[in-house]
Amino acid sequence: MNQVIGKSVNRKDGRAKVTGQATYGAEHQIPNLVHGYLVTATIANGSIRNIDTQQAAATPGVIAVFTHKNPPKIFKPTNNWMTSKIYEARLPLSDNKIHYAGQIVGLVVADTFERARDAAHQIKIEYETHSPQINAQKANYQQATSIFGEDMEYLAGEFETGDISVSGAATVEAIYTTETEIHSPMEPHALVAHWDNNDSVTIYEPTQWVKGSQRTYAELCGVPQEQVRIVSPYIGGAFGCKAFPWSHGVLCVAAAREIKRPLKVVVSRRQMTANTGHRSQTEQTIRLAANKDGKLRAIKHIAKSCTSPVEVFPEPCTGITPVIYATPNMHLKQEIAVLNVGTPTFMRAPGENPGMFALESAMDELAWELNIDPVELRLRNETKEHQRTKLPFSAKHFAECLKIGAEKFGWSDRQMQPRSQQQGELLVGWGMAAAAFPALRNRAEAKIRLLPDGIAHVLTSANDVGTGAYTVIAMTAAETLGLPVENIRVELGDSIMPNGGMAGGSQMTATLTPAVLTACQKVLETAKAQNAKEAFANLRESGLTAYEATASSAPGEEGKKFAFNSWGAHFCEVTVDEEIARLRVTRWVSVINIGRVLNSKTAASQIRGGVIMGIGQALMEECHFDPNIGYPVVYDLATYHFPAHADIPRIEVSFVGEPDLNFNPMGARGCGEIGITGVAAAVTNAVYHATGKRIRSLPITPDKLL
């Protein structure tokens, strides 16, 4: 067998991307294409009293103007998270009500983008305005429930065991807050919808779930699923905001059908800040009680987040808490309030990321209170089971992550007093935090075709959000068939191909590669061959055009025996110039346990990407809303601050552990999201070591250090 798995392999899609050959959603060129421009509300709460579109409709080149007075026909979908889903339960242009600033209130279609934009600005709207609720501090919070139903109630449902009021030799109780974050993918939200005789439609749109989008658009349009084709071979960043159709997509597809022309809609950066999702701000109360030896006696974790009037989405911060540290007494509660803002949604490690910022910050505070090394405190409290499901963890190497990370970083040289390490005039701080993320897996299918030219062709509707799916799919096929990676051609992101599952929840690799493995084994059986070389010889003798096989893979009963999770530890160094309150992250080590690492190059890249995103959360990312009109005060990639190369040090990534064969036949768990968990806490913990000042509110802007 080829020894390909585990090696460092260059991206299969890399050359297409850097040479411009990769075609993204808005780049598909279709004859007779026209352009749509969104009209959005300038108030956050109220209704439209009057909307005047006469001048816009009379503008040269304008083909149609849609508002709530003449919306294109749209059917209500079932809106089930596991089958068909839209991000906003309220259909676009369904009435004259305004729920948040930036809500879509119209669509102008013209023969050019510029003419559509110009006409959109000529629409006159009179509003009936009510005071918006923008302030999370003044909102009315209620108990949240899991958005996925009872099967995944652990993500947000309340949980209590033992007596949470117990005390110990040391108790830490504090409130930790995070600000609203915006996804900010390089590729904007955009799509092209092309109807064929009003019967079938092809939609070119970046989506993390091709088959899910196909089902959803079919329901929205009132046509059979097979009459909807979704094409999404490349995605220029998503992070959770491109899993389901947004209102602009729903409107584009319906309008294209009405005007009987291919229609393109691109959401502007300004519009994206308001109506294509964000991570809600959070407020979390953590209480930890521990014995003198550091063993935890109680954990209380109460989390608050905010949602929109048009959809319910809690940020499930407490879901990760029962996974990391053992305690006989635990209380978890999630609360949610409605604000007049756009819909929050999944953003890299939803829930786990802010949840672990709070928990890992509190653990560091407890370590200082007890005068116990933070690494040692975590080792003493490691749990062997998921404390809600009571299932043992499979292939867990959390302790190894902590120990190896400490060794690689040189943690034993750390001074045990704040403000004790200096570099010239700069204060130096070392901090660490744990990383954790659930291992998810779903059902997927793949087709393998062996062709006479010696090429193996892999086809599946799954797509690559930039994580390296093209490459690990090719590597899986290459290893199983005994071929070089160069002889594998991978085709992704088209709904006419077998169902490849969702690129979300760090599940694509774990979901899809077992199906590719099985399909490769089946095609060799079909060819009556031990490997591809024999199969190609048999193919040429047979005179057939190809050998092909389709296979699927899905979770079995293993979820009833084990809890599956990935683990890690981050270690970081910061410097602080107190005179000008300048904070820099200067060194980073991450050690991660994700089962079998299929491609060491892209896996490490994923962890680095998560760390960079976490450093952005820690130091600079925040989106505030204008208290008067409710619109985000950030409006593009310049006003929303996120890290540049100069902000990021060299990030050293290592992997530990063995294949998790209880989880799937490949032994692989996902690595897209675990890299961001714990990062912000590692930074704030290092800041405390450097300065003696505990930062419990992100981001750590200079004013908080002065």
> What are the residue numbers of the active site?
673
Tokens of 140: 């009315």
User: Which residues contact residue 8 at a Cβ distance below 8 angstroms, ignoring those fewer than 6 apart?
Assistant: 599, 600, 601
Distance in angstroms (rounded) separating the CA atoms of residues 500 and 232: 12
Cα separation, 467 vs 679, in Å, equals 19
- Rounded (10°) CA dihedral 662, 668, 673, 674: 70
Tokens of 382: 């490691």
For residues 334 and 143, the answer to whether their CB atoms sit within 8 Å is yes
Backbone angles phi and psi of 284, in degrees to 5: -125, 130
**Residue 329 contacts residue 259 (beta carbons within 8 Å):** no
Cα separations (Å) of 215 from 219, 227, 573?
Answer: 6, 10, 48
Q: How many residues does the chain have?
A: 706
Q: Spell out the SS3 assignment of 96-147.
A: CEECCCCCEEEEEEECCHHHHHHHHCCCEEEEEECCCCCCHHHCCCEECCCC
- What is the rounded end-to-end Cα distance, in angstroms, of the chain? 60
Whether 92 contacts 75, CB under 8 Å: no
| Other beta carbons less than 10 A from residue 62's beta carbon | 22
Strand boundaries in 605-666, DSSP class E: 651-655
Phi, psi for residue 476 in degrees, rounded to 5: -60, -45
| 341 three-class SS | coil
The token pair that represents 97 in the structure block: 């009500």
Cis peptide before 555 (omega within 30 of 0): no
Residue 252 CA, distance from chain mean position: 24
Q: 515-546 burial, b for 16+ CB within 10 Å, e for fewer?
A: bbbbbbebbbeebebeebeebbebbeeeeeee
CA-CA distance, 674 to 40, in Å (whole number)?
36
445 DSSP β-pair partners: 552
* Coil vs helix vs strand at 396: coil
Token pair in block for residue 644? 């540049």
CB-CB neighbours of 667 under 10 Å: 22
Q: Are 363 and 374 in contact, with CB atoms under 8 Å apart?
A: yes
Tokens describing residue 242: 């491109």
**CA 15 to CA 35: how far, in whole Å?**
30
Residue of 435, 319, 345 whose CA lies nearest to 680: 435
Using the structure block, give the residue that is written with the tokens 């930790």.
176
Element (H, E) at 409: helix 398-409
